[in-house]
Amino acid sequence: MALLKLLARLPLPLLHGLGIALGWLIYWAPGRHSGRLRNNLLESGVCAAGAGCRRLLRQAVGESGKAVIELIAVWLRPYDRVLKLVRDTRGWEHIDAARAAGRGIIVIAPHIGCFEMINLHFAAHHPFTAMYKPPRKPFLDRLMLAGRQRGQARLVPTDFSGVRALLAALKRHEAIGILPDQVATGGDGVWAPFFGRPAYTPTLVASLQHKTGAAAFFVAAERLSWGRGYRLHVTPFDDALPQDKTAAATRINQGVEDVVRRFPAQYLWSYNRHKRPGGAPDPFDPTAA
């Protein structure tokens, strides 16, 4: 821990430089990481074949390493110094307007840039609740809890008690955070297209919005070049999500795609977004429930 706290003092440009090197080390290491990152990016259609895709792939490898290294600073620096890393916000007035109208806030934050900064920024001003799955190693668990539960941020389990806590927070007109591009557990999602391929998508956002009338927003934490910090981008939903679960999941995935196309190099392409979890039906079987 002492070494990590020492590294946290390094300037963000230097940390990001180290992150680029780490990204390439991980990319060339044995395992499935590099193949999944490359295939997910190329099959998404976010770039044309040829030099453009090769350039984007190189950028994505470097950004994936930055995403790991920067957590040292985000989680271990004093809270007031971390908050200063947010250099700008775009569209935050939409969230302020929804709060002023007395509505709960659902922050939908895809795995883009430094998404850890979103809850820390929000929790500096208002209560913010998010789900949390403890890592297997106790050391990482302590580090994650210390880094994320700052300001008015609160973490709740990824189970029914956590869902109840999110629902209660929205009924208090507070804010919650949801990662929309994780694979849902078997039975808790539906198959919906994501960049042209089936992805088992959580239905929690639509369920919570229908029960509370909360306002939903996509929020992306863009990682600025040369270690200058982060810019938060807010995009509101124009309408309530459909009642049909598959239609709602499709709408959410479309929203994630729109955000990814704005910042393609900073998306977590190495995540196995299209896997079939245990208990999920066959996405290619029309008779499956």
Q: Does a structural domain hold residue 258?
A: yes
Distance CA 187, CA 92 (A): 34
Report the distance separating Cα 263 and Cα 46, nearest Å: 10
* Per-residue pLDDT, 287: 60
pLDDT at 134: 84
The reply to whether 211 falls in a domain is: yes
Model pLDDT, residue 108: 97
Contact 211, 156 (CB under 8 A): no
Contact yes or no for 243/120 (Cβ under 8 A):
no
Q: Name the strands in the sheet holding 215-223, side by side, starting at the edge strand that comes first in the sequence.
A: 86-90, 230-236, 215-223, 105-108, 175-178, 128-132, 153-157
Residue 202, helix vs strand vs coil: strand
Contact 248, 203 (CB under 8 A): yes
pLDDT digit string (tens) for the chain, length 289 residues: 778 888 999 999 999 999 999 999 999 999 999 999 999 999 999 998 788 899 999 999 999 999 999 999 999 999 999 999 999 999 999 999 999 999 999 999 999 999 999 999 999 999 999 999 888 889 889 999 999 999 999 999 999 999 999 999 999 999 999 999 999 987 789 999 999 999 999 999 999 999 999 999 999 999 999 999 999 999 998 778 999 999 999 999 999 999 999 999 999 999 999 999 988 888 877 665 5
pLDDT at residue 2, as a whole number: 79
Residue 275 lies in a domain: no
Q: Is 283 exposed, middle or buried (0-12, 13-18, 19+ CB in 10 A)?
A: middle
Structural domain total, the chain: 1
**Is 286 within a domain?**
no
Residue 6 lies in a domain: yes
Instruction: Tell me whether residue 24 is in a domain.
Output: yes
Count of CA atoms in the C-beta half-sphere (13 A) of 18: 14
pLDDT at 288: 55
Pairing of strands 175-178, 128-132: parallel
- Domain with 71 in it: 2-266
Position 135 in a domain: yes
Task: Using DSSP, state whether 212 is helix, strand or coil.
Answer: helix
Answer whether 121's CB lies under 8 Å from 86's CB: yes
HSE, CB side, 13 Å, CA atoms: give it for residue 235: 16
Residue 285, pLDDT score: 74
Which residues, at least 6 apart from 92, have a Cβ–Cβ distance to it below 8 Å?
A: 232, 234
Q: Is residue 114 part of a domain?
A: yes
Distance CA 159, CA 283 (A): 25
Q: How far apart are CA 18 and CA 4, in angstroms?
A: 14
